[in-house]
Structure 1
Amino acid sequence: MSRQITEAVQQLARPIVEKEGLELVDIEYKKEGPNWFLRIFIDREDGGVDLDDCTRISEIVGGKLDEEDPVPGAYILEVSSPGAERPLTKEKDFQKAVGKNVYITTYEPIEGQKVFEGVLHQFDGTTLTVHEKKKTFEIPLEKVAKARLSVVF
């Protein structure tokens, strides 16, 4: 059900976000405590959205959501930037992340592990090359369950 809702909201929101010169990064619909949250993450190609961008998208998309009603029941709409640990979901996200720290989980073990945290050394469109401390891993893109940038302190 949650996946159907996020897909419906994505179809509704993407043209609005793109018309405003922004990128739709991700949509999340989940329950926290007694409340349901619909979170829309936006960004600019060159990085950096501001409060005005988030407010504008919230108002426009919120109105369209009220009109078309793809989300059952009450929910709280939040529009924000993806933050420092933005999800990596598209090929271009992985390409932009080369040379940066990433956190990746896989559907099945690769060389005995399912969690990888290190520098994304290379991405050729089908395989991620991640360097972790003393070892380098080749991770097929189709085996990636989740990926995001990782902030190292």
Structure 2
Amino acid sequence: MSTTQSERLRGLVEPLAGTRGLDVEEIEVSRAGRRRMLRIVVDSDEGVELDACADLSREISAALDESDLMGEDEYVLEVSSPGADRPLTQHRHYVRATGRLVKFQLAEGGELVARILAADEDGLDVEVPGLKGRKPTSRRLPFAEVAKARVEIEFNRKDKKEEEA
């Protein structure tokens, strides 16, 4: 996809997503056989429900039909959320992952699995789970020490709504 097309698609999609309180995380155009696939990933601080993706998809589809951004060829439009085990690449991703268990690849090598307690402009306050009955330990993790980070899926994690009830 050319930079021009990417910028034009982003210019069309971001205002539509923004009116719904959603951030556009990714826009990707790829080939799927003879058709093209337009994949748009959106997120918000509260997460994204399926109905919000469906409503936004209809709105984007109508806007694309009125424009020439995708040309005359057939394409498939997919609007989705980033998924549970998405990589964390921007500050807002870390803020949204507060309370979640994350696997960090460290810049100096090695990895760390810890729960994000808080995020600010410089780094993270994390809690490293204790092993073999030991107590968890708190630690400061500057962003400069993080090479990669990805949310870990927890099947027995309490949902925020359960904790508030």
Task: Give percent identity, aligned residues only.
Answer: 29
Q: Does 1:101 align with 2:101?
A: yes
Name which of 109, 113, 117 aligns with 1:112: 109
Residue 2 to residue 99, structure 1, CA distance change in 2 (3 Å)? farther
Query: Does structure 1 retain, via aligned residues, the 8 Å contact 2:108–2:145?
Result: no
Q: How does 1:1-150 map to 2 (within 5 A)?
A: 1=1, 5-19=5-19, 21-31=20-30, 34=33, 35-51=35-51, 53-71=52-70, 73-104=73-104, 110-113=107-110, 117-128=113-124, 138-140=141-143, 144=147, 147-150=149-152
Matched residues in 1 for 2:43 and 2:116: separation?
A: 21
Relative to the length of structure 2, the TM-score reads: 0.62
Higher mean C-alpha deviation, range 130-139 or range 78-87: 130-139
Matched residues in 2 for 1:37 and 1:125: separation?
A: 36
Aligned-residue CA RMSD (Å): 3.6
Matched residues in 2 for 1:143 and 1:44: separation?
A: 23
Matched residues in 2 for 1:29 and 1:140: separation?
A: 27
Query: Does structure 2 retain, via aligned residues, the 8 Å contact 1:37–1:78?
Result: yes
Task: Identify unmatched segments of 5+ residues in structure 1.
Answer: none
Relative to the length of structure 1, the TM-score reads: 0.66
Matched residues in 1 for 2:8 and 2:108: separation?
A: 37
Deviation per CA, 1:17-62, whole angstroms, max 9, x where unpaired?
222x2312422415365354222233454334233x2222112111
**Which protein has the larger Cα radius of gyration, Structure 1 or Structure 2?**
2
Counterpart amino acid of residue 120 in structure 2? D
Name the residue aligned to 2:153. Answer: 151
Query: Does structure 1 retain, via aligned residues, the 8 Å contact 2:107–2:146?
Result: no
Structure with the higher fraction of residues in strand conformation = 1
| SS class of match (2:12) | helix
